[in-house]
Structure 1
Amino acid sequence: MLENYYRELVSVLSARMGNAHAAEDVVHDAYVRVLERCADDPIEQPRAFLYRTALNLVIDGHRRNTLRQVEPLEVLDSDERFFSPSPHASMDHGQRLEMVQRALAELPVVCRESFLLRKLEGLSHPEIAERLGVSRSVVEKHIVNAMKHCRNRIRLWDNA
């Protein structure tokens, strides 16, 4: 049901942000958050919740960008040199990556390729549609389905 609002929300955010590619990224992130929330409790007004989530992500992104512009680069460089993740965090990250790879391997080829072209190569939906020879709406559905599938599989494997 939420898939019905995808293009509408991308259009709204594109107009607001002035960048269709960034709007698609925000909508993907919003879908992931809403789908995670839906798994716990049903949402009474999913469209409104999806829109509010997406707008909150836009606001959060703007705040982060504003903070980054104020922070001197020297501080960021020095902080990065002293940060090293704990062995436990590295292991957890590696396990999560392996789970995502396993989940993606279970998907049909076009679905998996749509997701990877978007998330790894940063292609737009029309670029992916052209490359794979499918419609833009098929690409959108494949990406949302891939996110749902990965989320469900990881949740299942985490609880095992």
Structure 2
Amino acid sequence: MLRHDSGVDHPDAFVFQIAVNLLADRHRRYRVRERYRHFVEAEERRDVEFVDPHAIASGRQGVEQLVRALEALPERTRTMFVLYKFEQLSQDTIAERYGISKSAVKQQIAKAMALLASRMGDVK
């Protein structure tokens, strides 16, 4: 451009302005990419729960306590409780399987809840 007659009055200033514009464009692209990167990182962390070793250990101890408390229940009471709470069978279905009334199933589940609450309270 400097060697040829390009019709530009001040070619040095023109080239300098092109360089300034290119640097400004590069800076804008960088800022957009940085904002996007921060947004993606924040989104990735949003649903992630940070692992707390104490919470994991406490949770494991709680599960172990529950298993021991369940094992201490009478077999029939434990089975009905497991069917109702974990297998999500209705009390009517459980009553049918055992050939007993629905109120008897309710009593067994209430008994299991009371014994578990007592055992879990004792352990803590």
For the aligned pair, the TM-score class normalised by the smaller chain equals 0.5 to 0.7
Q: Distance in 1 between matches of 2:100 and 2:46?
A: 42
Q: Distance in 2 between matches of 1:84 and 1:91?
A: 14
Aligned to 1:125: 91
Q: Distance in 1 between matches of 2:89 and 2:99?
A: 14
Check 1:87–1:132 CA distance in 2 against 1; reply closer, same or farther (3 A cut). farther
Measured against aligned partners, the alpha-carbon deviations of 1:62-82 in whole angstroms (never above 9, x if no partner) come to xxxxxxxxxxxxxxx966741
RMSD between aligned alpha carbons? 2.0
SS at match of 2:82: helix
- Contact residue 110 and residue 132 of structure 1 kept, 8 A: no
Say yes or no: does 1:152 pair with 2:106.
no
Paired residue type of 1:151: A
Q: Distance in 1 between matches of 2:46 and 2:102?
A: 39
Check 1:88–1:118 CA distance in 2 against 1; reply closer, same or farther (3 A cut). same
Paired residue type of 2:102: R
Q: Distance in 2 between matches of 1:106 and 1:133?
A: 24
* 1:131 Cα offset (Å): 2.0
Give the helix-richer structure, 1 or 2.
Answer: 1
Matches within 5 A, 1:41-56: none
The 4+ residue runs of structure 1 with deviation greater than 3 A are 77-81
- Contact residue 128 and residue 139 of structure 1 kept, 8 A: yes
Paired residue type of 1:120: F
- Contact residue 114 and residue 143 of structure 1 kept, 8 A: yes
Q: Distance in 2 between matches of 1:112 and 1:79?
A: 41
* 1:84 Cα offset (Å): 3.7
Aligned to 2:106: 140
Identity of aligned residues (%): 35
Equivalent pairs counted in the alignment come to 82
- Greater Rg over alpha carbons, structure: 2
Q: Distance in 2 between matches of 1:79 and 1:85?
A: 12
Structure 1 residues without counterparts, runs of 5 or longer: 1-76
